[in-house]
Homo-oligomer: A and B are copies of this chain.
Amino acid sequence: MTSHGSNLVYEDIEAEGHLIDSNILARMMSGIVELDGDFEVLSFEIGRGNESTSKMVMRVRGRNGEHLTEMLKMLHGLGVVPAHPGNVALEPAPADGVFPEGFYVTTNLETLVRIDGVWCPVWGTEMDLGICVDAEAKRAWGVPLSQVKKGDMIAVGQVGIRVTSQERLREREEFEFMNSTVSSEKPKAQIIRQAATILRETKERGKAAIAVVGPAVIHTGAAEHLERLVRGGYISVLFGGNAVATHDIESALYGTSLGIDMKTGLPVPAGHEHHLRAINQIHACGSIREAVDEGVLTSGLMHALVETDTPFVLAGSIRDDGPLPDVITDTMAAQEAMRPWCQEAGACLMMSTMLHSIATGNMLPAAVTTICVDINPAVVTKLSDRGSFQTIGIITDVGLFLRLLADELEC
Contacts and interface: CB of A to CB of B under 8 A. Distances in A.
Interface stretch (A82-90, A91-99, A117-125, A341-349): A91-99
Interface in A374-410: 375-378, 395-397, 399-401, 403-404
A187 B265 contact: yes
A187 B266 contact: no
A135 interface: no
A155 B283 CA distance: 18
Contacts of A219: 185-187
Interface in A189-217: 189-191, 215-216
Interface in A209-237: 215-216, 219-222
B21 A48 contact: no
A146 B277 CA distance: 13
A276 B400 contact: no
A74 interface: no
A26 interface: yes
A1 interface: yes
Contacts of A215: 185
A176 interface: yes
A265 B358 contact: no
A334 interface: yes
Nearest to A264: B190
Contact of A330 (B257, B283, B330): B330
Interface string A306-336: 0000000001111111110100011110110
Contacts of A46: 1-2, 29, 33
Nearest to A317: B331
Interface residues of A, number: 99
Contacts of A222: 188
A357 B224 CA distance: 31
Nearest to A324: B145
A355 interface: yes
Given A185-B220, A220-B184, A264 B48 contact: no
A111 interface: no
Contact of A355 (B283, B329, B355): B355
A239 B222 CA distance: 33
A169 interface: no
Given A25-B26, A220-B185, A396-B375, A318 B315 contact: yes
A88 to B, nearest CB: 16
Given A26-B23, A174-B264, A322-B146, A184 B375 contact: yes
Interface of A: 1-2, 20-21, 23, 25-26, 29-30, 33-34, 36, 41, 44-49, 94-95, 97-99, 101, 103, 105, 128, 145-146, 173-174, 176-177, 182, 184-191, 215-216, 219-222, 257-258, 260, 262-266, 272-273, 276-277, 279-280, 283-284, 315-323, 325, 329-332, 334-335, 338, 355-356, 358-359, 362, 375-378, 395-397, 399-401, 403-404
